Amino acid sequence: KKMRAQNQWVRTENIIELAHPKFRDDLIKAAHEAGIWRRTNKIE
């Protein structure tokens, strides 16, 4: 996927999805606090 063509929310979700599961909760929290991400059904 080309990340440059996607909006910030989609890029953030893709990065979180690629991250190792032990880092996802911290990434989700940081993105949520920055106001650029909300939980979807895609990422568990």
pTM strictly above 0.85? no
Q: What is residue 14's predicted lDDT score, i.e. its pLDDT?
A: 86
Contact 35, 9 (CB under 8 A): no
pLDDT of 11 strictly over 90: no
Domain boundaries, the chain: 1-43
3-class SS shares of the chain: helix, strand, coil, % to 5: 55, 0, 45
pLDDT tens, 14-39? 888 999 999 999 998 898 888 887 66
